[in-house]
Amino acid sequence: MPEVVAIGETMVLFSPVGDGPLRYIQHFEKRIGGAESNVCICLVRLGHSAGWISRVGDDEFGRFVVSSIRAEGVDVSQVKVDPEAPTGIYFKERRPFGLGQVYYYRKGSAASRLLPDDLDPEYIRSAKVLVGSGITPALSESCEKTLWRAVEIAKEAGILFVFDPNLRLKLWPPEKARATLLEFARRADVLLPGADEAEFLTGEADPLAAARKLQQLGPQLVIVKTGAKGALVVEGDQAYEVPGFPVERVVDPVGAGDAFAAGFIAGRLEGKRVYEAVRLGTVCGALATTVPGDVEGIPERALVDRLLEAKGGPDVRR
């Protein structure tokens, strides 16, 4: 059984070969993209075991998603094939000055039809960590119920629940998003919002003030991701910053937060102190931004260790 279990949708991603409005793009590269499967893939590359729970359509895209994630070493035994709904897809659009967009075609997708009955309680109980994100409850009422059921199972078994709000306002109204995400935050042991998400949830523009408000909801640990700066950690009465890892050129920021989460979780599974685990997360997140695609930039453990040993300095091996 895997150490970490994650629940959520993975779609087929069509990434443009070129920049500009999609109406002028003629060629795309086919990849996969999904926050929870990204976390699983990164954990496996860091030397841990992970299992992904979801649904896919009984179609070629669904088979592509499952085979791609299985090929990364992630356990996909809990993925259900839905013969009545398609696998979701989405397109990226790259524009100058970081003004790109993402276009989703996921309404009514197989993953949006996840049900609590799709869960095997023993599979979740056998894990050490349950990973959830705010994307899953945004997909449908049944998805929200499914994630709540998974949290209930994890809490009863004393399993760590790590929650990343992963705000997607294209999927639901702000009021519903805020209320639901705050409820999941109350049940989280570790909460991993980005700075903008922390402000959205609390109304506090200052990351520390926002983190303190979120801490009052109940999480043992609140880690606010602050982009290139790194992360702000609030643990008990302590609050401190963990510096980011410098990146000369950001190619694709999508997936960086997922890699950060995986790095942090890997560090804690290995018994590292919170600071060291967060530092591992910042390195993984930084590396994920250097290559196009959600998973293509997720690093192998050897590269992460080399960078940590070099502490940002030159490390040339011949």
Cα gap 31→186, rounded to integer Å? 34
Q: 222: closest CA among 212, 230, 6, 181?
A: 212
Burial zone of 100 (CB within 10 Å; 0-12 exposed, 13-18 middle, 19+ buried): middle
Q: Which helix (H) or strand (E) holds 1?
A: none
Cα gap 71→262, rounded to integer Å? 18
- Please give the structure tokens belonging to residue 159: 């399993």
Q: Is 258 a catalytic residue?
A: yes
Three-state DSSP class for residue 228: helix
- Please give the structure tokens belonging to residue 16: 């443009």
What type of residue sits at position 273? R
Catalytic pick from 189, 258, 294, 315? Answer: 258
Cα gap 171→70, rounded to integer Å? 27
Active site members:
258
